[in-house]
Amino acid sequence: MMTLERIHKAQQAWGDGIVAMATAHLHGGDYVSIAQNHVETLYAYGMSTVLFKPTLAAIEQFRPTFEQALSYFVASNNACLEDTGFAIKGWTKVRFENADILLHETTALAMGNYFFTPLEGNEVKVEYTFGYVLDETGALRINLHHSSMPAPSEE
């Protein structure tokens, strides 16, 4: 069953995974294994279609495969040559601000902003929509991930 608490825990796990990859990369750790675990445990690759449109993808905008998702996060496998490793850019914190969460029995949608804090400390705001499904064990998996930079302000 989907609950707000489960969605919040899944979002925390996603943010913690990004920080873990960045920290491991910074300290010469095995950030690729952390990224593989992140994608394997948090996304629905292998159980369903995953609609993944990462923030900074321009040439290969959509990432329907595990290998392409991994490439986006850590640029380790040459699956998408434009990738430089979003998750290894030195992020020290990730926080979610949900605009809304729609819960159904076995699916959920969440939309809002998430904020990435780099080593320098100024948060980077990114807009997101995540879809969640339950796997055969009842764990939440991401089957929709769309994120983009906010439109420039007219001010």
Write down the pLDDT at residue 96.
Answer: 98
Number of domains in the chain: 1
Answer yes or no: is pLDDT of 154 > 80. Answer: no
Read off φ and ψ for residue 36, nearest 5 degrees: -60, -45
End-to-end Cα distance, the chain: 43
Task: Give a yes or no: residue 153 inside a domain.
Answer: no
Work out the pLDDT band at 56, boundaries 50, 70, 90.
confident
Task: Give a yes or no: residue 108 inside a domain.
Answer: yes
CATH number of residue 89's parent domain? 3.10.450.50
Task: Give a yes or no: residue 75 inside a domain.
Answer: yes
Residue 107, both tokens: 């699916």
Write down the pLDDT at residue 67.
Answer: 96
Task: Give a yes or no: residue 87 inside a domain.
Answer: yes
The closest of 154, 114, 148 to 17, measured between CA atoms, is: 114
3-state secondary structure of 110: strand
Answer yes or no: is pLDDT of 84 > 80. Answer: yes
Mean pLDDT of 39-64: 95
Total residues belonging to the chain: 155
Domain that holds residue 61: 4-148
Write down the pLDDT at residue 121.
Answer: 87
Write down the pLDDT at residue 78.
Answer: 84
Tell me how far apart the alpha carbons of residues 16 and 38 are, in angstroms, rounded to a whole number. 10
Task: Give a yes or no: residue 154 inside a domain.
Answer: no
